[in-house]
Amino acid sequence: MRLITAGTLAALLVLVPIASGVSSSSRAMDGSGNNAGNSSWGQAGTQYVRVAPANYADGVAKPITGPNTRYVSNRIFNDRAQNLFSENNVSQWGFVWGQFMDHTFGLRQEVGGEDASIAFNARDPLEEFTNTLGVIPFSRTPAAPGTGVTSARQQINTVSSFIDGSSVYGDATNRLEWLREGPYNGTLSDNGGQLLLDHGYLPRRDARGNAATAPEMALMGRLAATPSRAMVAGDTRANENVALTATHTLFAREHNRIVNALPRRLSDETRFQIARRIVGAEQQWITYNEFLPALGVELSPYQGYKDNVDATLSNEFAVVGYRAHSMIHGQLEPIAPPGTYSPEQVDAFEQQGVEVEDEDGVDTVVIPLNVAFGNPDLLPAVGLGPVLRGIGSEPEYKNDELIDNQLRSTLFEIPVPGNPTCLDGPTLPQCFKGVVDLGAIDVERGRDHGMPLYNSLRTAYGLAPKQSFTSITGEATDRFPRTSRIDRRDAIDDPDSLDFVKVFDADGKRLPLGTEEGAVVGIRRTALAARLKAIYGSPNKLDAFVGMVSEQHIAGTEFGELQLAIWKKQFEALRAGDRFFYANDSELAAVCALYGLDYRYKLSQIIRMNSDAQVADDVFVADSD
């Protein structure tokens, strides 16, 4: 028998109003009312806050000018197919969990902004891709109502800022009702406690008969031609890649596991709300006890809920600091027991550009990222367990200035038909005729949102400005070499300038060029500092995103000084300004005391409880065994 203290009994008394889902003792769907004195703090549909004043060319709305962002991308972000990996052996869960959290607390308003497509120069000597679009599509984020005319343009975060499980449940009751078992008739009162699943996977848009009445889901890549095949989740972006879809599926299963563990005497609504509360707390627990420590983010000690702390996401965090796209691996590698896939399945995979390799007694499924984009059919075909196991088995890419061409040039693009063998590596340009460059868009989005330049942003976060490019990168020189391979008069436009000449592992051992496994440091023919200087001239003119990703890392972390400061400030605010943060929520202890249901699970435990994946205890450390 469990002993329940007087304090726990008092907490249990407030479990009754949990059934409404909107009382002061539980989270509102849209995040409103979390702060009693400032109801809109962190609420969906409100403006991002700013740490620094907005930086517009006209002081109001016009983006500042700077070097063409594809030009910058070709010279700074281009990885030339030499992959470098996390120096701390962080697994791919680093970027997968990071994206899952991003889709929990941030989504800028997208519809209604002006076209501001990025010019594409096919004659750039460093351009390797054909772009029949002629430009890189880009639209500005719409101005928040009442801004951008006489006052500085601001932007809207369409989801709540809290880590609250909203990527599983959504921020609005109509989406939640569609996702829950039971009728879809405009009321939650007759819905079941479980989430709707189809043989253990997320439901498709046509699961209730008419795909047109399903909640909106973002359609990208191949999915645009088959919108009814989109899986439906709390967040519209759940189909972006198979690893993200797998994580959504995992927590939908986890919700149902919790509901099934609760006594049947409780109403469906009460069981649902208890499970929702636990799932949100689990995601907070994993974020603060596994994800952030794995990346080397050390926060100040938690001092309880602070009603004077606004947890609203900052524009600087959303548009600069949290854009860690360099971490994203160019391919995903699910791992399954040998013989999992029939010859017919293997043939079907290969027709898509997916390979199945027999390595060390397991079947490894190699999925190029562009095949994983907008392709939810891959998840049930490969299996949830293999995908979840594979994410933790490979290290993520190093969080630096290099961005894989799967993101830097072919994001969400559909390959030309008939050649599935060129979907990765140096042959990638042969497979695509359009260019969408996430790195260029990252820089452009900063200008769109009025981000301060690099040194101004450092100052806003309490850091001293950098006076030289070498002090940013940690290199010995900002000059181009005088070699037979490089003409210093046009070195910034010389393709040879980007060649890697040395590669090292984490212990400083030199590796053969082109080595995949273990490469964490790469030396190029020209210093990054030299290329930055040639493009920008002065550190004071650097775009904030470019300067941030170029910084030398702080030992033991995945970050340079500026990015670490941005993360630290935001994640401390998300913790201190959330009345329902797990360490401040007495009802979680009450649930545990009464029903034996805890929230303090490692991600590995949640994976094991909801799939057949055999994973290491700490999935945030790459486990290649």
For 41, half-sphere exposure in the C-beta direction (CA atoms, 13 angstrom radius) is 18
3-state secondary structure of 553: coil
The reply to whether 10 falls in a domain is no
**Residue 433, in any domain of the structure:** yes
Cα distances from 537 to residues 62, 202, 260, 505, 619, in angstroms, run 23, 50, 62, 32, 43
Whole-number mean pLDDT of the chain? 92
**CATH classification of the domain holding 134:** 1.10.640.10
- Look at residue 21 and give its three-state secondary structure: coil
Number of neighbouring beta carbons within 10 Å of residue 359: 11
Length of the chain measured in residues: 625
In a domain, 590, yes or no: no
Dist. CA 207–CA 185, nearest whole Å? 15
For 574, the enclosing helix (H) or strand (E) is helix 561-576
Q: What is the pLDDT of residues 532-584, one digit of tens each?
A: 999 999 999 999 999 999 999 999 999 999 999 999 999 999 999 999 999 99
pLDDT in tens, 205-255: 999 999 999 999 999 888 888 999 999 999 999 999 999 999 999 999 999
Are 618 and 392 spatial neighbours (Cβ–Cβ below 8 Å)? Answer: no
362 — phi, psi (to 5°)? -135, 160
Q: What is the DSSP string of 105-130?
A: H--B--TTPPB-PEE--TT-TT----
C-beta separation of 406 from 424 below 8 A: yes
Q: Is residue 83 part of a domain?
A: yes
* 458 inside domain: no
In a domain, 231, yes or no: yes
Distance CA 409, CA 441 (A): 11
The pLDDT tens digits of the residues spanning 356-411 come to 998 778 999 999 998 999 999 999 999 999 999 999 999 999 999 999 998 999 88
3-class secondary-structure state, position 272 = helix
Read off the pTM.
0.94
Residue 11 scores a pLDDT above 70: no
2 pLDDT exceeds 60?
Answer: no
| Amino acid occupying residue 326 | S
**Could you read off the pLDDT of 293-346 as tens digits, one per residue?**
999 999 999 999 999 999 999 999 999 999 999 999 989 999 999 999 999 999
pLDDT at 361: 85
Which residue carries 């967040």 as its tokens?
235
Dump strand ranges (E) for 390-491.
none
Cα Rg of the chain (Å, integer): 24
* Residue 307 burial (10 A CB sphere; 0-12, 13-18, 19+): middle
Structural domain range at position 210: 30-293+309-439+561-578+599-610
Q: Note whether residue 584 is domain-resident.
A: no
Q: What is the pLDDT of residue 574?
A: 98
The yes-or-no verdict on residue 15 having pLDDT over 50 is no
- 29 pLDDT above the threshold of 70: yes
Q: How many structural domains does the chain have?
A: 1
Adjacent-strand bridge partners of 521 = 504
| 22 found inside a domain | no
What CA–CA distance (Å, rounded) separates 154 from 450? 9
Q: What is the pLDDT of residue 4?
A: 40
